[in-house]
Amino acid sequence: MQRPAIQAVSSASQRRGQLKALYRLMANCRLCPRTCGIGRLAGEEGVCKSGVRPMVASATLHHGEEPPISGAGGSGTVFLSGCNMKCVFCQNYPISQLGVGNVMHAGELARRMLALQKNGAENINFVTPTHFAAQAAHAVYLARRKGLSIPIVWNSSGYESVEALKLLAGFVEIYLCDYRYATPELAKLYSAAEDYPSVVEPAIHEMLRQVGYFEGKCGVIIRHLCLPGHLEETRKILGRILCEFGAGMPVSFMSQFFPAHKSAQYPEISRKLDDDEKEAAWEVLAQSGLENGWTQEDFA
């Protein structure tokens, strides 16, 4: 797939227009596919249990991302609290589900981002930002005006609304997007998001429209985490990626699942992948026809 023509640099007024539109999506919230319809601007909370100000669990340098994301200096990782997914195996569940974090203004978040840049961060990596899309973009806008020059990474579950993503154009340079499920029943069982398979592909198409395949310091990377006992789901997902996005689509293939949060209630995923399963998963990847990307062994 060809990289799209470089987007014209938006004017400050265009960016402000995008920000206003993003905040307006929270009035009867449809910032994500849950479309809760509640008044977040008036203090109501929907499925993500998030308010109008960003809530941040941590902002630190992280060296364990994909090699081009971590780089030499580390990725300036900003963990946003809450989540619009309800994954029973979430490894970050204290942050995503239990509300660990601090509420702050977008200006304070912008200052944290600038501090990460000063400390050598290669980029600003928003982890699980979907439900705070307006606030994260707002912080980017403020930080850019104060000298933030490193790329913005949108490290997302893929459970995104195309309407909101369109408004992020120009705020985000790298989309690091999960493809978790191709089967609605699994998406419902493990993440209470039956529509995930119908949502994730349009979302990735919009990301690709904005920034193309990952190359250098810009573009889309799809992440896939293999679940124990679900090799066929992995095969199906890789097939969908090949069919929908092409053989050159960069894919980060992860096999380091470990059971967390409520995994113990689901015996089939209450364990790590064993060595045979990992080998079988890598074989599925090798046979998939996908040509670009990384496996966990390539990480720091």
Give the residues lining the site for ligand SF4 (CB under 6 A).
29-32, 34-36, 38, 40, 46-48, 50, 84, 131
Q: How far apart are CA 226 and CA 233, in angstroms?
A: 8
Question: Is 205 in contact with 160 (CB distance < 8 Å)?
Answer: no
Q: From the CB of 107, what's the least distance to ligand SF4, in Å?
A: 22
Q: From the CB of 165, what's the least distance to ligand SF4, in Å?
A: 13
Q: From the CB of 89, what's the least distance to ligand SF4, in Å?
A: 19
Q: Which residue is nearest to ligand SF4 (CB)?
A: 46
Q: How far apart are CA 114 and CA 98, in angstroms?
A: 28
Q: From the CB of 47, what's the least distance to ligand SF4, in Å?
A: 4
H/E element holding 220?
Answer: strand 219-225
Q: How far apart are CA 8 and CA 24, in angstroms?
A: 24
| Nearer to ligand SF4 (CB atom), residue 33 or residue 68 | 33
Q: From the CB of 98, what's the least distance to ligand SF4, in Å?
A: 16
| Nearer to ligand SF4 (CB atom), residue 42 or residue 300 | 42
Q: From the CB of 67, what's the least distance to ligand SF4, in Å?
A: 31
Q: How far apart are CA 30 and CA 228, in angstroms?
A: 33
**Sign for the pseudo-dihedral over CA of 268, 271, 276, 281:** positive
List CB contacts of 137: < 8 A, sequence separation 6 or more: 18, 19, 22, 167, 168, 171
Q: How far apart are CA 171 and CA 174, in angstroms?
A: 10
Q: From the CB of 27, what's the least distance to ligand SF4, in Å?
A: 10
| Nearer to ligand SF4 (CB atom), residue 48 or residue 143 | 48
Q: Return the residue matching tokens 């293999």.
A: 226
| Nearer to ligand SF4 (CB atom), residue 22 or residue 284 | 22
Closest-CA residue to 258 (of 232, 285, 278, 288): 278
Q: From the CB of 220, what's the least distance to ligand SF4, in Å?
A: 22
| Nearer to ligand SF4 (CB atom), residue 29 or residue 109 | 29
| Nearer to ligand SF4 (CB atom), residue 123 or residue 155 | 155
Closest-CA residue to 32 (of 123, 106, 136): 136
| Nearer to ligand SF4 (CB atom), residue 70 or residue 97 | 97
| Nearer to ligand SF4 (CB atom), residue 42 or residue 243 | 42
Beta bridge partners of 250: 292
- CA dihedral 176→151→7→198, nearest 10 degrees, is 20
